[in-house]
A and B are shown apart, each in its own frame.
Chain A
């Protein structure tokens, strides 16, 4: 605990934590739209395409100046999006082929430029490789201003165009019919995905950036059905995984930040997929079990009701074997026990037979009538 306190008291660590949280929040916020618009893999292509831009920014600026590097990454990312659009619109190649082409070729060019820069030597060039997997420790206090600026810009855009983004994300055709400039809005959203990627590069690197875009949004989606809370939650999850990843990576030597952040975010996704109310897998499994039990209960009750009606005896004691024959299957003992516990049926003896018999209670008759829509014979009409 005291080690953690030491870590937190250091100014550098505080800067890194703050930077990581801002980056995670921006990516989470913008990723929500990318996931809803099924453009997750576009994020993957654009993030790989940022590598040549990083190298070009470095080559042009001559130093590891964050501003020019991010500018370069943004320019090649946007270029990749344009090329991608060109391929999809002007050829018959499928979208995924276009994504794969853009991703791999831009990355290859980035690798070539990276090896060229490293061949030129120079101390600063060593830092470029950290953009592959991210290095939160390299975040400087001055970088925070750039990140904060981009974050505020993105936030302002999202707030200003909230209605339009919402419409385009869920029903682009309707938006077009209503006369919204859908192509322009989609372009703005794509540019913002590129922006999110660019700011996230320092934290998770070009290769794993896609996870920081998708994972918080996919996790947030499980907990809510409304866009507003989803975007906010996604930003919070992004910030939390970013900060936690940066902390772990800073505390342990030699672990790149990106993979740690991604694994934390994936962990949150897994928890969300399993435990989220309504949508979660465990919730679904429980709901399914309850539905099964309800149907099974109902079948036993209505069968007993039917037997009682056939014998014109509301208190007709149905023998266990008879019940099974009527159901066509073994009546599950769990169902019988549950029904008995709920006071809907009760065990009776029917001497001289020694096998267990069951009859409907008054409550059981009401329940069975509600289920089958038929009235049970009145108990006083019964003739032995």
Chain B
């Protein structure tokens, strides 16, 4: 049963994707909240340099030492960018944009030069080859398990342990770094711990999804979750859920359309994000549009009540307290005037009497609340 699960190619591909997604979402939630999302971009590009250098030095690509060694490049990129920005010769965004392309370019050139000996080619660097993870396996307890699954599983355990153990500290440093520093929680150390783990995860995920698609797995599910909730634990849980859903749906669609699996998984994270952006309750674009409309209608109601109140029992009443006055004097489009009258009528603020709009007691009360009790008329 276990052997057949680990022997099944589709199960292994989806599992690899899910492991990348889970690790990414755990760390990504904090990166997105801290406003460090683009550091993921820098890290995931520059580890290419680390991976190839470690390979040139040790002759191997997988293994704990290799993963850590390559991950160092990711941290180094961040350190270099921050040093460069601190010299005040360039701004932080330009510093990031100078350091990681240089490391990435050096990595790509080294790969081109050693193309004959190294098993990755330049295109794999970008796109990964999640479809082939099952080729490279390791025997654990008599079962053939893909190396990528083992590595990513180990990384996931580390990430999960880190997030669970340092939950309180992460929460504090994320939302109030100043308070965290004052209480002695070392936000800087935690910042670099998160970035180191991101680098390690990026290196472990490199074979499966490549350097750039990894960014989608780290940033997009947490950003999606962020649109849906304001609670940190729920955001992390939702981000993980979005990752899993993206991996499964992406795999199925990729097989159906015969396109890149990792690419489709990453695209699906984007689809979930787009759905959340549109339909999220309260903060989605559609909910925003509705709430904007309803606020405007409320405001129109108040304006209508105020208008009627102003002209009530005056000689101009016959002319002013009509729907036509709203269109001609207040310059409202006819549909807007009609909607406001209907809304005010529904809320028992006004009534139609002898062809005129007159205030009901509730409407008079609201108008008095607007103008104050003073008889300024």
> Are B98's CB and A111's CB within 8 A?
no
B229 CB to closest chain A CB (Å) equals 12
> Are B212's CB and A48's CB within 8 A?
yes
> Are A207's CB and B126's CB within 8 A?
yes
> Are A111's CB and B258's CB within 8 A?
no
**A105-B216, A105-B269, A111-B263 are contacts. A262–B36 as well, Cβ < 8 Å?**
no
Query: Which secondary structure dominates where chain B touches chain A?
Result: helix
> Are A259's CB and B108's CB within 8 A?
yes
B273 CB to closest chain A CB (Å) equals 6
B293 CB to closest chain A CB (Å) equals 15
**A100-B215, A208-B105 are contacts. A108–B270 as well, Cβ < 8 Å?**
yes
Among A36-44, A161-169, A297-305, the stretch that binds chain B is: A36-44
> Which residues B54-86 have CB closer than 8 A to chain A?
84
Which residues does chain B contribute within 8 Å of A211, judged by CB atoms?
Answer: 97-98, 101-102, 105
> Are B98's CB and A100's CB within 8 A?
no
> Are B288's CB and A90's CB within 8 A?
yes
The CA-CA distance from A38 to B36 in the complex, in Å, is 16
Q: CB within 8 A of A101: which of B98, B105, B113, B220?
A: B220
Q: Does B93 contact A (CB under 8 A)?
A: yes
> Are A108's CB and B216's CB within 8 A?
yes
Which residues does chain B contribute within 8 Å of A115, judged by CB atoms?
Answer: 127, 259-260, 263
Query: Which secondary structure dominates where chain A touches chain B?
Result: helix
> Which residues B89-114 have CB closer than 8 A to chain A?
89-91, 93-94, 96-98, 101-102, 104-106, 108-109, 112-113
> Are B262's CB and A111's CB within 8 A?
yes
Taken residue by residue from 175 to 191, chain A's Cβ proximity to chain B (1 for < 8 Å, 0 otherwise) reads as: 00000000000000000
Which residues does chain A contribute within 8 Å of B84, judged by CB atoms?
Answer: 273
> Are A210's CB and B35's CB within 8 A?
no
> Are A259's CB and B106's CB within 8 A?
yes
B123 CB to closest chain A CB (Å) equals 6
The CA-CA distance from A260 to B36 in the complex, in Å, is 29
> Are A129's CB and B123's CB within 8 A?
yes
Which residues does chain B contribute within 8 Å of A351, judged by CB atoms?
Answer: none
> Are A105's CB and B267's CB within 8 A?
yes
Which residues does chain B contribute within 8 Å of A279, judged by CB atoms?
Answer: 89
> Are B260's CB and A112's CB within 8 A?
yes
> Are B263's CB and A101's CB within 8 A?
no
> Are B122's CB and A256's CB within 8 A?
yes
> What residue in chain A is nearest B260 (Cβ atoms)?
A115
Q: Does B283 contact A (CB under 8 A)?
A: yes
Q: Does B257 contact A (CB under 8 A)?
A: yes
Q: Does A365 contact B (CB under 8 A)?
A: no
> Which residues A89-114 have CB closer than 8 A to chain B?
90-97, 99-101, 103-114
A-B contacts counted at CB < 8 A amount to: 199
Q: Does B41 contact A (CB under 8 A)?
A: yes
> Are A112's CB and B267's CB within 8 A?
yes
Which residues does chain B contribute within 8 Å of A262, judged by CB atoms?
Answer: 101-102, 105
> Are A101's CB and B106's CB within 8 A?
no
The CA-CA distance from A16 to B101 in the complex, in Å, is 23
Q: CB within 8 A of A104: which of B98, B104, B213?
A: B213
Among A62-70, A149-157, A214-222, A319-327, the stretch that binds chain B is: A214-222
> What residue in chain A is nearest B103 (Cβ atoms)?
A266
Give the one of B87, B106, B122, B227 with max A CB within 10 A. Answer: B122
**A97-B32, A256-B122 are contacts. A38–B93 as well, Cβ < 8 Å?**
yes
B281 CB to closest chain A CB (Å) equals 14
**A94-B37, A96-B37, A105-B273 are contacts. A214–B98 as well, Cβ < 8 Å?**
yes
> Which residues A129-179 have CB closer than 8 A to chain B?
129, 132-133
The CA-CA distance from A263 to B105 in the complex, in Å, is 7
Q: Does B161 contact A (CB under 8 A)?
A: no
Taken residue by residue from 240 to 271, chain B's Cβ proximity to chain A (1 for < 8 Å, 0 otherwise) reads as: 00000000000000100111101111110110
> Are A105's CB and B266's CB within 8 A?
yes
Q: Does B219 contact A (CB under 8 A)?
A: yes
**A101-B273, A115-B259 are contacts. A108–B213 as well, Cβ < 8 Å?**
yes
The CA-CA distance from A221 to B115 in the complex, in Å, is 37
Q: Does A11 contact B (CB under 8 A)?
A: no
Q: Does A352 contact B (CB under 8 A)?
A: no
Q: Does B118 contact A (CB under 8 A)?
A: no
Q: Does B277 contact A (CB under 8 A)?
A: yes
A280 CB to closest chain B CB (Å) equals 8
Which residues does chain B contribute within 8 Å of A207, judged by CB atoms?
Answer: 45, 104, 126, 212
Q: Does B325 contact A (CB under 8 A)?
A: no
> Are B102's CB and A107's CB within 8 A?
no
A320 CB to closest chain B CB (Å) equals 39
> Are B259's CB and A116's CB within 8 A?
yes
> Are A93's CB and B288's CB within 8 A?
no
A110 CB to closest chain B CB (Å) equals 8
A197 CB to closest chain B CB (Å) equals 13
Which residues does chain A contribute within 8 Å of B227, judged by CB atoms?
Answer: 91, 93
A184 CB to closest chain B CB (Å) equals 23
Which residues does chain B contribute within 8 Å of A254, judged by CB atoms?
Answer: 112, 115
The CA-CA distance from A114 to B213 in the complex, in Å, is 14
> Which residues B207-231 have CB closer than 8 A to chain A?
212-213, 215-216, 218-220, 223, 226-227
> What residue in chain A is nearest B276 (Cβ atoms)?
A91
Give the one of B32, B37, B84 with max A CB within 10 A. Answer: B37
Please name 8 further chain A to chain B contacts, defined as beta carbons within 8 Å, in addition to the given A105-B216, A132-B123, sorted by A numbering: A40-B94, A94-B35, A100-B219, A101-B220, A108-B265, A108-B266, A111-B260, A214-B101
* Interface pairs A-B: 4 shortest CB-CB: A105-B270, A111-B263, A108-B266, A211-B101
12 contacts between A and B (CB under 8 A): A38-B91, A44-B41, A87-B277, A94-B32, A97-B219, A103-B215, A116-B257, A211-B97, A256-B109, A266-B105, A273-B89, A281-B87
A residues with CB within 8 A of B: 35, 38-41, 43-44, 48, 87, 90-97, 99-101, 103-116, 119, 129, 132-133, 207-208, 210-211, 213-215, 217-218, 221-222, 254-256, 258-260, 262-263, 266, 269, 273, 279, 281
